Amino acid sequence: MKYTHLPHTDIEVSKICLGTMTWGNQNTEEEGHEQMDYAVDQGINFFDTAELYPIPAHPDRHSLTEKIIGTWFKKNGNRDKIVLASKIVGRAEMSKFIRTTGFSRESIIEAVEGSLKRLNTDYIDVYQLHWPERNTNYFGKRGYAHDISDHWEDNIHQVLETLRDLIREGKIRHVGISNETPWGTMRFLEESKVHATLPRAITIQNPYNLLNRLFEVGLSEISMREQIGLLAYSPLGFGVLSGKYLGGRSPEGSRITLFPNYKRYSSKTAIEATQKYYELAMANDLSLAQMALAFVNSRPFLTSNIIGATSIKQLKENIESIDVTLSDEVLKGIEEIHNQHPNPAP
């Protein structure tokens, strides 16, 4: 395994982070425990979860993933060996069964207390805002369109004050943001620069993969210059970049087969680009999945690559991508395909 540091901290994390959002729906508690055991054996010490998980969100299943992690901690007594990240839901139709108050002080405190209880822990290492309260950066939405119905008032200072108080209480250690825009990212950083007592966001968890490199437009420069590390999610684009859906295939039990509404990475242009990436991988004796993951692993703004799997076989292949170094020829080929099919998935 390879390791990096969470920016502005002395916390060392594996460059591969174990994603958990299938546990409690596509995966049982036993399978979740098996994945954590295997990941730790391979040198992974960084787990990412959220109060909303598993996905798709559902009133009967929300927060089951955190509970599964909590029972694993209780069984093994190894909380101190894991760097743990979780998230509070934003205001949205799909999460209103959890709460509807957005990032008010009361909401954040309630969310943290609930996660701590479910996770069987006294603290969370990186606590993240799952998505903005503003009407922006939703799944499937490319770019910003001003919405006059959005009555959000800038409360970023108040949000950071609440998170600061939770840090002082020892319930969280650091703060991260997720699904953010360049403007939102800089606002959070600005507040912590102007007001020294407020915590600085150290990570940003956004999608990044061969089919969606929009992070490179604005956010990558912020990441490098401000040292806010990317936690890349969907590095395989809902499994599309494994190649298993090529040729119109629909593998039984796979994510898009089970949840056909998840079409973000399944447009005609995305499929065309995936075919090109598949051919490039095959020509260089690589699996498409490992080439796609190795590309993400190689980015200078990456802190950790959040992988997910529904089987140990998939998990093994994904973790082994850390040992794959892409040649200059492969990287050139990736750029050529990207120029032909730029960001086909929003």
Q: In which region does residue 89 sit, left (phi positive, over 0), alpha (psi from -120 to 50) or beta (all else)? A: beta
> How do residues 231-270 score in pLDDT, each as one tens digit?
999 999 999 999 998 987 877 776 677 777 777 888 999 9
Compare 97 and 159 and report the one with higher pLDDT.
159
Active site residues: 53
- The pLDDT of residue 140 is 65
Q: How far is CA 225 from CA 180, 191, 219, 229, 300, in A?
A: 17, 17, 10, 10, 11
Amino acid at 3: Y
> What is the DSSP track for 52-73?
TPSSSP-TTTTTHHHHHHHHHH
| Closest listed residue to residue 138, CA positions, set 176, 93, 189, 185 | 93
Buried b or exposed e, range 28-65, using 16+ CB within 10 angstroms: ebebbbbbbebbbebebbbbbbbbbbbbebeeeebbbb
Specify the range with the lowest mean pLDDT, choosing from 51-55, 136-140, 182-186, 329-333.
136-140
- The pLDDT of residue 132 is 94
pLDDT at 325 over 80: yes
The CATH code of the domain at 3-243+292-326 is: 3.20.20.100
- The pLDDT of residue 93 is 83
pLDDT at 293 over 80: yes
- The pLDDT of residue 91 is 86
pTM of the predicted model over 0.85:
yes
What are the φ and ψ backbone dihedral angles of 14, each rounded to 5 degrees?
A: -65, 145
- The pLDDT of residue 46 is 98
> How do residues 48-86 score in pLDDT, each as one tens digit?
999 999 999 899 998 999 999 999 999 999 999 999 999
Mean pLDDT across the stretch 213-221? 97
pLDDT at 139 over 70: no
pLDDT at 289 over 70: yes
Distance of alpha carbon 303 from its chain centroid, rounded?
A: 11
Compare 230 and 142 and report the one with higher pLDDT.
230
Mean pLDDT across the stretch 309-320? 96
What are the φ and ψ backbone dihedral angles of 234, each rounded to 5 degrees?
A: 55, 45
- The pLDDT of residue 187 is 98
How far separated are the first and last CA of the chain, in Å rounded? Answer: 31
Mean pLDDT across the stretch 26-45? 98
> How do residues 9-29 score in pLDDT, each as one tens digit?
999 999 999 999 999 999 999
> How do residues 94-125 score in pLDDT, each as one tens digit?
888 998 788 999 999 999 999 999 999 999 99
Q: Which two tokens stand for residue 224?
A: 């490098």
Instruction: Write down the mean pLDDT value for the chain.
Output: 94
| Closest listed residue to residue 280, CA positions, set 243, 245, 254, 316 | 243
| Closest listed residue to residue 207, CA positions, set 170, 180, 244 | 180
